[in-house]
Protein backbone atom coordinates (compact mmCIF):
# COMPACT_ATOMS: atom_id res chain seq x y z
CA UNK A 1 0.00 0.00 0.00
CA UNK A 2 1.08 3.56 -0.53
CA UNK A 3 -0.49 6.90 0.14
CA UNK A 4 -1.16 9.33 -2.70
CA UNK A 5 -0.36 12.88 -1.58
CA UNK A 6 -3.47 15.02 -1.27
CA UNK A 7 -2.18 17.59 -3.75
CA UNK A 8 -1.63 15.00 -6.51
CA UNK A 9 -3.01 15.98 -9.92
CA UNK A 10 -3.72 13.20 -12.42
CA UNK A 11 -2.18 14.03 -15.79
CA UNK A 12 -4.59 13.51 -18.66
CA UNK A 13 -3.69 10.57 -20.86
CA UNK A 14 -2.31 11.46 -24.28
CA UNK A 15 -4.44 9.44 -26.76
CA UNK A 16 -1.56 9.44 -29.26
CA UNK A 17 0.51 7.41 -26.79
CA UNK A 18 -2.20 4.87 -25.94
CA UNK A 19 -1.20 1.37 -27.04
CA UNK A 20 -3.03 0.49 -30.29
CA UNK A 21 -4.22 -2.83 -28.87
CA UNK A 22 -5.90 -0.95 -26.03
CA UNK A 23 -7.59 1.31 -28.59
CA UNK A 24 -8.75 -1.69 -30.65
CA UNK A 25 -10.05 -3.54 -27.57
CA UNK A 26 -11.88 -0.45 -26.33
CA UNK A 27 -13.64 -0.13 -29.70
CA UNK A 28 -14.39 -3.86 -29.79
CA UNK A 29 -16.13 -3.53 -26.43
CA UNK A 30 -18.13 -0.52 -27.66
CA UNK A 31 -20.17 -2.44 -30.22
CA UNK A 32 -22.83 0.30 -30.44
CA UNK A 33 -20.25 2.66 -31.99
CA UNK A 34 -19.77 0.48 -35.08
CA UNK A 35 -22.48 -2.23 -35.31
CA UNK A 36 -24.60 -0.03 -37.62
CA UNK A 37 -21.66 0.20 -40.07
CA UNK A 38 -21.10 -3.54 -40.40
CA UNK A 39 -21.73 -5.09 -43.82
CA UNK A 40 -20.67 -8.29 -45.54
CA UNK A 41 -19.61 -7.91 -49.16
CA UNK A 42 -19.42 -11.11 -51.22
CA UNK A 43 -17.25 -9.32 -53.81
CA UNK A 44 -14.46 -8.10 -51.57
CA UNK A 45 -13.41 -7.74 -47.98
CA UNK A 46 -15.51 -5.03 -46.41
CA UNK A 47 -13.74 -2.09 -44.68
CA UNK A 48 -15.23 1.10 -43.27
CA UNK A 49 -13.75 3.98 -41.31
CA UNK A 50 -15.13 4.11 -37.75
CA UNK A 51 -13.21 7.09 -36.42
CA UNK A 52 -10.39 9.44 -37.34
CA UNK A 53 -8.57 11.59 -34.80
CA UNK A 54 -5.12 13.14 -34.51
CA UNK A 55 -4.07 9.87 -32.85
CA UNK A 56 -4.98 7.81 -35.92
CA UNK A 57 -7.80 5.87 -37.54
CA UNK A 58 -10.00 2.96 -36.52
CA UNK A 59 -11.43 0.72 -39.25
CA UNK A 60 -14.03 -2.01 -39.06
CA UNK A 61 -13.59 -4.96 -41.42
CA UNK A 62 -15.61 -8.04 -42.22
CA UNK A 63 -14.27 -11.17 -43.86
CA UNK A 64 -16.36 -13.82 -45.53
CA UNK A 65 -14.74 -17.27 -45.82
CA UNK A 66 -11.90 -17.10 -48.36
CA UNK A 67 -11.52 -13.30 -48.27
CA UNK A 68 -8.08 -11.89 -47.48
CA UNK A 69 -5.71 -9.00 -47.90
CA UNK A 70 -2.89 -10.36 -50.00
CA UNK A 71 0.65 -9.80 -48.78
CA UNK A 72 1.20 -6.16 -47.69
CA UNK A 73 2.75 -3.83 -45.19
CA UNK A 74 1.51 -0.56 -43.70
CA UNK A 75 4.34 1.71 -44.80
CA UNK A 76 5.60 3.79 -41.90
CA UNK A 77 2.37 3.41 -39.93
CA UNK A 78 2.12 1.30 -36.80
CA UNK A 79 -1.00 -0.05 -35.21
CA UNK A 80 -2.84 -3.19 -34.25
CA UNK A 81 -5.91 -5.24 -35.02
CA UNK A 82 -8.25 -7.30 -32.89
CA UNK A 83 -10.54 -10.11 -33.97
CA UNK A 84 -14.07 -9.36 -32.79
CA UNK A 85 -15.77 -12.54 -34.03
CA UNK A 86 -14.84 -15.56 -36.08
CA UNK A 87 -11.22 -16.51 -36.79
CA UNK A 88 -8.52 -14.94 -38.96
CA UNK A 89 -5.30 -16.52 -40.19
CA UNK A 90 -2.17 -14.42 -40.35
CA UNK A 91 0.98 -15.14 -42.36
CA UNK A 92 4.03 -13.03 -41.46
CA UNK A 93 7.02 -13.04 -43.83
CA UNK A 94 10.44 -11.58 -43.09
CA UNK A 95 14.08 -11.89 -44.04
CA UNK A 96 16.40 -12.86 -41.23
CA UNK A 97 19.72 -11.06 -40.68
CA UNK A 98 21.33 -14.13 -42.34
CA UNK A 99 19.22 -13.47 -45.43
CA UNK A 100 16.86 -16.42 -44.99
CA UNK A 101 13.15 -16.09 -45.66
CA UNK A 102 11.04 -16.89 -42.61
CA UNK A 103 7.30 -17.45 -42.66
CA UNK A 104 5.17 -17.77 -39.57
CA UNK A 105 1.47 -18.54 -39.46
CA UNK A 106 -1.03 -18.23 -36.70
CA UNK A 107 -4.76 -18.44 -36.22
CA UNK A 108 -6.33 -15.57 -34.30
CA UNK A 109 -9.56 -16.18 -32.43
CA UNK A 110 -12.03 -13.59 -31.19
CA UNK A 111 -10.38 -11.39 -28.56
CA UNK A 112 -6.85 -11.90 -29.90
CA UNK A 113 -4.80 -9.01 -31.28
CA UNK A 114 -1.68 -8.43 -33.33
CA UNK A 115 0.57 -5.39 -33.43
CA UNK A 116 2.27 -4.15 -36.62
CA UNK A 117 4.81 -1.49 -37.49
CA UNK A 118 7.22 -0.45 -40.24
CA UNK A 119 8.81 -3.48 -41.92
CA UNK A 120 6.01 -5.84 -40.86
CA UNK A 121 4.85 -7.73 -43.97
CA UNK A 122 1.82 -9.93 -43.53
CA UNK A 123 -1.29 -11.39 -45.08
CA UNK A 124 -4.55 -11.81 -43.21
CA UNK A 125 -7.27 -14.18 -44.41
CA UNK A 126 -10.43 -15.82 -43.27
CA UNK A 127 -9.65 -19.50 -43.78
CA UNK A 128 -12.53 -20.54 -41.54
CA UNK A 129 -16.10 -21.47 -42.42
CA UNK A 130 -17.81 -18.57 -40.62
CA UNK A 131 -17.65 -14.82 -41.31
CA UNK A 132 -15.14 -12.87 -39.25
CA UNK A 133 -15.16 -9.29 -37.96
CA UNK A 134 -12.12 -7.28 -36.86
CA UNK A 135 -11.16 -3.79 -35.74
CA UNK A 136 -7.95 -2.17 -36.99
CA UNK A 137 -6.07 0.77 -35.51
CA UNK A 138 -3.67 2.75 -37.71
CA UNK A 139 -1.78 5.42 -35.84
CA UNK A 140 -0.37 8.66 -37.25
CA UNK A 141 -0.54 8.47 -41.02
CA UNK A 142 -3.78 6.51 -41.12
CA UNK A 143 -4.61 3.40 -43.09
CA UNK A 144 -1.88 2.62 -45.59
CA UNK A 145 -1.47 -0.63 -47.54
CA UNK A 146 1.47 -1.43 -49.80
CA UNK A 147 1.20 -4.72 -51.72
CA UNK A 148 4.07 -7.20 -51.73
CA UNK A 149 4.97 -10.29 -53.71
CA UNK A 150 6.75 -13.23 -52.13
CA UNK A 151 10.00 -14.13 -53.89
CA UNK A 152 11.31 -17.55 -52.81
CA UNK A 153 14.88 -16.20 -52.64
CA UNK A 154 14.50 -12.53 -51.81
CA UNK A 155 11.46 -12.88 -49.56
CA UNK A 156 8.87 -10.12 -49.53
CA UNK A 157 9.41 -7.55 -52.31
CA UNK A 158 7.24 -4.47 -52.91
CA UNK A 159 5.08 -4.78 -56.01
FE1 LIG B 1 -2.22 -5.43 -42.48
Cβ-based neighbour number of residue 83 at 10 Å: 25
Ligand 1 center–CA 7 separation, angstroms:
45
CA gap 15, 147 in Å, rounded: 29
- Per-residue confidence (pLDDT) for residue 15, from 0 to 100: 78
- Which residues in the chain show pLDDT less than 70? 1
Predicted TM-score (pTM) of this structure: 0.90
What topology does CATH give the domain 18-150? Jelly Rolls (2.60.120)
- Per-residue confidence (pLDDT) for residue 31, from 0 to 100: 97
CA gap 24, 83 in Å, rounded: 9
Binding residues: 72, 74, 122
CA gap 12, 133 in Å, rounded: 32
* pLDDT (tens digit per residue) in 77-123: 999 999 999 999 999 999 989 989 999 999 999 999 999 999 999 99
Binding residues for Fe cation: 72, 74, 122
CA distances from 11 to 1, 14, 110 (A): 21, 9, 33
Ligand 1 center–CA 99 separation, angstroms:
23
Ligand 1 center–CA 8 separation, angstroms:
41
- Per-residue confidence (pLDDT) for residue 9, from 0 to 100: 84
Ligand 1 center–CA 153 separation, angstroms:
23
CA gap 15, 156 in Å, rounded: 33
Domain positions in the chain: 18-150
Please answer whether residues 128 and 86 qualify as being in contact, where contact means their C-beta atoms are separated by less than 8 angstroms: yes
φ, ψ of residue 132 to 5 degrees: the values are: -125, 155
Q: Give the list of residues 6+ apart from residue 20 with CB closer than 8 angstroms, or none.
A: 56, 78, 79, 80, 115, 137, 139
- Per-residue confidence (pLDDT) for residue 152, from 0 to 100: 84
- Per-residue confidence (pLDDT) for residue 50, from 0 to 100: 97
**Burial (CB count <10 Å: 0-12, 13-18, 19+), residue 4:** exposed
- Per-residue confidence (pLDDT) for residue 73, from 0 to 100: 96
Please answer whether residues 22 and 113 qualify as being in contact, where contact means their C-beta atoms are separated by less than 8 angstroms: no
Ligand 1 center–CA 156 separation, angstroms:
14
Ligand 1 center–CA 97 separation, angstroms:
23
Amino acid sequence: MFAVPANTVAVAENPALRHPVRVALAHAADRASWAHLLRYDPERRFAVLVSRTEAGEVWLMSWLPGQGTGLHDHGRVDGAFTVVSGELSELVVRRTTEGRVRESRRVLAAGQSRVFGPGYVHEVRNDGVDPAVSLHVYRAGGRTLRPYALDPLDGPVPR
